[in-house]
Amino acid sequence: MNRGDRPELLWGFGLNTIEADKIEDSLGPGFFLRNFSERSLPGAKELRHPEKPSATWIPLRVWNELSEARRATYRKQESTQRILIQDENEKNVDLESVLEDGFLAVVSSPLTSSKVQDALFRAKEVAGLYGDLYRMTEEIIMERELLSRKTEQLMFLNTVLSNATERLEVGDILGQAAEDLKLLLPVLSVQGVFWDVASTEKQAEAEIFLNPGLIPEIQGEWTEFMIENVKELSGTEVAGYNLSETVPAGDAAMCYGPTGGRVLALPLISRGEKFGCLIMLCDKSVRLAKDQVNTLNAAVNHLSLALNNALMFTKIKSRADRDGLTRVFNRRSFDERMAEELRRHQRHCMDLSLLMIDLDHFKNVNDTYGHIAGDMVLETVARMFEETFRTTDFIARYGGEEFVILLPHTNAVQAEMLAERIRAKIESCTMTYQAVDFKVTASIGVSSVRPGSLEKDSELVLKADEALYKAKELGRNRVVVNAPVARLRIV
């Protein structure tokens, strides 16, 4: 039988026969009154039953005999309205105390149909209001929770956007993103790969940003993983790649390869074109809810904008700081670095040397083989410099076929050895252009300053230039060292 076919349940607590009969007669067959005797009032079993009475009729004489603990138990039954029945010979009860006990109404004996029906009507009306209030309260609580979650999401996105736009270096943005994204999900590391597709060759040059401190094996796994992502997302082969580092992201990231957790590879898009991929490594147990996925996608959109701007800034800065042909630093960058290194030399009393290199008879190369061949020679020599010298050494194109190389922590003897090594390397290299082989040589001037010298940067360059001029005078293809400036002595 469906619940709608059953009579509505009412309870009576110790009602006498007259009271019970009157209630049943007044309400008709749509209600069923279950009357408990005074000695067997509802206990825990009845109170736990899923079907609750809509109203309970309780004579005042029965209520007064109950213990306070028993009364408290019945008061907790909020879904049931209680109606108090007062005998005609009993003293009128205080209405305020009746309301405090949770009674809906007081009905005096003798009971009549109108009294019973009116009391039950009020009980059902209050129950309906109570249900409406309960539903409204639930809706308000749910709306507040949704509003709270949306506020948290907006605050999170604002944090991501603010932190990303404050930085101009790609590695810094990725490192900060690793910290910010931990507010949303358990992130172990954040890394990235970016690419630039050559329109003619349909090949991509990739820039891979990995966490610092990775062991070679883990670094190799991540590199392969990212190259595969570039192929898949760009639809091209990877012609070459360069490895860079993010800012430190914690020791935990150093231990995990792509199989060490759940990897989320999220494409980065700008102006409708994919230019990179954000690689997040999370705990294997992570499961994202729909709102978390939406928030993560919004965060990645913010990061896409910041990372694209950072990449453009890097390109512009590189064009401003470097020579367009050889990709080593330009004259302006050298002048700035020279002044900086000389200040460091004077502050920390360290050795400092400078090589000035000129390719011998370079005009003959251009005149004989053409300017394209000349450009090829300059690029080849620049790569030789990068292979030969340390990363702390500063290589720049000084102008035309002249290069300068700044050597911190290097004395005159060491600088001469390095100069002779690169001179021999250039001399032994066979250049090939349009199936024609030829060779070039270089003259090198060396100057140095000893610790404690107060030389100006222009004087160090001038002495290297003088040494270079002497090397050319002596027949070219040789190294000449200008005597280093002695330490100043106060007598």
How many whole angstroms separate alpha carbon 91 and alpha carbon 69? Answer: 25
Q: How many CB atoms lie within 10 A of CB 153?
A: 17
Query: Helices 170-181 and 113-165: crossing angle, nearest 10°?
Result: 160
Question: Between β-strands 31-36 and 55-59, what pairing exists: parallel, antiparallel or unpaired?
Answer: unpaired
How many whole angstroms separate alpha carbon 185 and alpha carbon 262? Answer: 12
Mind telling me the catalytic residues?
401
Task: Please report which confidence band the pLDDT of residue 452 belongs to, taking 50, 70 and 90 as the band edges.
Answer: low
The answer to whether the beta carbons of residues 56 and 12 sit under 8 Å apart is: yes
Determine the pLDDT at residue 432.
93
Query: What token pair was written down for 297?
Result: 């996608």
Determine the pLDDT at residue 454.
55
Cα 169–198–374 angle (5° rounding)? 95
How many whole angstroms separate alpha carbon 40 and alpha carbon 166? Answer: 75
Q: Is the pLDDT of residue 434 over 50?
A: yes
Determine the pLDDT at residue 404.
97
The answer to whether the beta carbons of residues 149 and 291 sit under 8 Å apart is: yes
Pick the residue with more confidence: 432 or 344? 432
Pick from 339, 361, 350, 468: which is nearest to 404 by CA?
468
Cα 339–344–350 angle (5° rounding)? 120
Tens-digit pLDDT profile for residues 382-402: 999 999 999 889 999 999 999
Determine the pLDDT at residue 488.
40
Q: Is the peptide bond before 110 cis (omega within 30 degrees of 0)?
A: yes
Highest mean pLDDT among 126-135, 201-210, 295-304: 295-304
What number is the average pLDDT over the span 406-427? 95
Q: Is the pLDDT of residue 487 over 70?
A: no
The answer to whether the beta carbons of residues 219 and 255 sit under 8 Å apart is: no
SS3 489: coil
Determine the pLDDT at residue 398.
94
Q: What is the percent of the chain where pLDDT is above 90?
A: 45
Q: What is the percent of the chain where pLDDT is above 70?
A: 93
Residue 451: HSE in the Cβ half-sphere, 13 Å Cα cutoff: 7
Tens-digit pLDDT profile for residues 40-94: 999 888 888 888 888 899 999 999 899 998 988 888 887 788 889 988 777 777 7
What number is the average pLDDT over the span 166-170? 89
Residue 306: HSE in the Cβ half-sphere, 13 Å Cα cutoff: 25
- Listed in sequence order, the DSSP H helices in 166-253 are 170-181, 216-234
Helix (H) or strand (E) holding 115: helix 113-165
Residues 6+ apart with CB under 8 A from 457: 335, 338, 339, 342
What number is the average pLDDT over the span 228-246? 88
How big is the chain, counted in residues? Answer: 491
